């Protein structure tokens, strides 16, 4: 058998000349085009690329990535860094009399963690607060109450959806 005949025979046996691998490749390409890459801008110039729908695509479900409102969309001013939503009610004593803030009340924060002032959409008051990162396995120190990071750019170590402690007495 000549050298050329041996090469052609080997190629035919290994599938190099077959059209089957091309069909499999085309099917894989078509499937992968169904996956959308979502980009989340974390505000620092960095971005996180992730396939938020990977499992949903594999399950045949078409659903978009979760999105979060911006602080201005929840009623905070444009200079708000991040905001939290109270998970408990609290009664504050103001010069105008007592004010009860129910669960779901939003606090607009201009700083990260620590002592700062907070504005409250829908209430005409500004309050002093101390915002503390919460250990997930421990309760908030008394008299602080729990709040959930809702939107904006939380400080390092806190993510949207995390629970923090808010101390109105220490503000």
Q: Domain boundaries in the chain? A: 3-58, 71-167
Average pLDDT taken over every residue of the chain: 74
Residues 12-53 pLDDT 10s: 555 555 444 444 444 444 444 444 444 444 444 444 444 444
Q: Dig out the tokens for 85 from the structure.
A: 């939503």
Other beta carbons within 10 Å of 102: 9
Taking alpha carbons only, the member of 147, 144, 146, 110 closest to residue 130 is 144
Greater confidence (101 vs 26) lies with: 101
Q: How far apart are the C-alpha atoms of 35 and 58, rounded to whole Å?
A: 9
Residues 40-96 pLDDT 10s: 444 444 444 444 444 445 455 555 555 667 887 888 999 999 999 999 999 998 888
| Cα atoms in the Cβ-side hemisphere of radius 13 Å centred on 14 | 7
User: The dihedral of CA 57, 159, 44, 107: what is its sign?
Assistant: positive
pLDDT for the residue 9: 59
Lowest mean pLDDT among 31-35, 125-129, 158-162: 31-35
Are 11 and 17 in contact by the 8 Å Cβ rule? The answer is yes
Predicted model pTM: 0.60
């Amino acid at each position: 058998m000549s050298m050329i005949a041996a090469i052609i025979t080997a190629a035919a046996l290994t599938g190099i000349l077959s059209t089957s691998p091309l069909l499999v490749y085309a099917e894989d390409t078509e499937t992968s085009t169904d996956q959308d890459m979502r980009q989340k801008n974390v505000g620092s110039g960095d971005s996180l690329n992730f396939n938020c729908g990977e499992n949903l695509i594999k399950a045949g479900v078409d659903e978009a990535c979760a999105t979060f409102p911006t602080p201005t969309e929840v009623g905070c001013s444009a200079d708000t860094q991040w905001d939290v939503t109270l998970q408990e009610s609290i009664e504050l004593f103001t010069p105008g009399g007592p004010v009860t803030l129910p669960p779901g009340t939003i606090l607009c924060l201009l700083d990260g963690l620590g002592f700062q002032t907070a504005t409250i959409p829908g209430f005409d008051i500004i309050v002093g607060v101390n915002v503390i990162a919460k250990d997930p396995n421990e309760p908030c120190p008394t008299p602080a109450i729990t709040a959930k990071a809702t939107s904006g750019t939380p400080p390092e170590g806190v993510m949207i959806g995390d629970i923090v402690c808010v101390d109105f007495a220490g503000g």
